[in-house]
Amino acid sequence: ISNSEGDLLFLLDSSGSVSYYEFSRVKEFMWDLLQPFTFGPKDVQASIIHISTMPTMEFPFDRYLSSGTLQQAIRDTQQLMGDTNTGKALSYAKEKFFSDEAGARPDVPKVLVWVTDGFSTDDISEPMQVLKDMGVTVFIVSTGRGNYLELSAAASQPPEKHLHFVDVDDLPIITKELRDAILDVIQANRLHAVDITSSSFRLIWPELLSQETDYYTLEYAPGGDLARKRTTQVSGAHTSLTLSNLAPETTYEVALIPESNIHYFPPQTTRVTTLAEEISPTQVLISESGPHSFHVSWAPMLDSVIGYQVLYGPLPGNSAKLLEVDGKHNSTVVENLAPNTTYLVTVTAVYKSGKEKSLSAKACTQE
């Protein structure tokens, strides 16, 4: 997941009320949640603050800017034990969320994920409200029997989207739902792409312009060839646009420039990679036909194919046999056939994405 910019802070219950087993499962959950993101100064940054007697920052936002180093840092995180002073940790989190020293960035979405066994030894309501008033989106994952009313008031609204009660062994059940909700937050105020195919994608951006005379200029070009930049303009009423006729497996640099006579809006940029081309075999050729066999070949061959399936059976009839062919080959010999018989041959390309595309041809064996 790229084109997502945000500071993501985990508030991790590291107190003595959490067992070593629970702590290790929560660390796995944190990594699973983060694993698909791209990290860096223009992408997602992550940090951990321990809830204990005194709050402690495990690492600042800007220390680990690759998946590998961040995964290792989470794996190396040690439980501190002590009291569950969540209120103190929240006040400390507020300082770090907006601090250059902690690697936090101004003007990017802020997300807090508080993983708790449901208990706190000090008041959380006031420091949590301060964080939310400063624009932080708060997600709470309770692995214990915490007070629902207290936690639903602490989470961002609505609680059904921001509060999860789940047994520590069932954390993987909520991973995708929580990740998608975090994505909604960090992509809501910036240009991003959806519905990406091999030749198109749809751009979505926040509503910025209001005047009838305002408009957006959109520039896009393949990353390695900015001389091929294309430009289009849309009215200020638009918040989305589909770009088509694009090259497959190509990364495009995209810039959205709001043009207004009244306010200055900085350009928004994103980077989008189209999918591999997934087309049917456009030719199925039958050759070297004999009484009991024939040769089948097809084109084109594509790197995005992992294999081909050759299905063949006599016409008329409803019996068929299957041959599997490695994606590096584009032909096979079909044998043990009946003489003087018409066969229907269907070649199916199986793509790495899981999609399948087919093309059929008829073949006749000799007498």
> How high is the pLDDT of residue 276?
77
The 10 Å Cβ neighbour count of residue 68 is 9
Pair 180, 198 in one domain: no
265's tokens: 């809006």
Crossing angle of the two packed helices 86-97 and 125-133, in degrees rounded to 10: 20
Pair 34, 178 in one domain: yes
In a domain, 173, yes or no: yes
Residues 42, 59: Cα–Cα separation, whole Å:
19
> How high is the pLDDT of residue 333?
95
In a domain, 351, yes or no: yes
> How high is the pLDDT of residue 282?
65
> How high is the pLDDT of residue 281?
64
Pair 232, 313 in one domain: no
List the chain pLDDT tens, one digit each, 367 residues.
Answer: 666 789 999 999 999 989 999 999 999 999 999 988 889 888 899 999 999 999 999 999 999 988 899 999 999 999 999 999 999 999 999 989 888 889 999 878 999 999 988 777 888 889 999 999 888 999 999 987 778 888 889 999 988 889 999 999 999 999 999 998 998 888 777 788 888 888 899 998 888 887 778 999 999 999 877 788 999 999 998 889 999 999 888 899 999 999 988 888 888 888 888 887 766 566 888 999 999 999 999 887 777 788 999 999 998 877 889 999 998 888 999 999 999 999 999 999 888 767 778 888 899 999 8
What is the number of structural domains in the chain?
A: 3
Residue 234 near residue 241, CB atoms below 8 Å = yes
103's tokens: 């690697």
Pair 63, 199 in one domain: no
Phi, psi (degrees; rounded to nearest 5) at 85: -90, 75
Pair 35, 140 in one domain: yes
Pair 34, 153 in one domain: yes
Residues 120, 11: Cα–Cα separation, whole Å:
13
In a domain, 1, yes or no: no
Pair 319, 247 in one domain: no
Residue 52 near residue 15, CB atoms below 8 Å = yes
Pair 183, 201 in one domain: no
> How high is the pLDDT of residue 179?
93
> How high is the pLDDT of residue 30?
94
pTM of structure: 0.60
**HSE-CB for 274 with a 13 A CA cutoff:** 25
Pair 17, 143 in one domain: yes
Where in the sequence is the domain holding 75, given as residue range(s)?
6-189
- Tell me which of 149, 170, 189 is where a domain ends: 189
Beta pairing partners, 332: 296
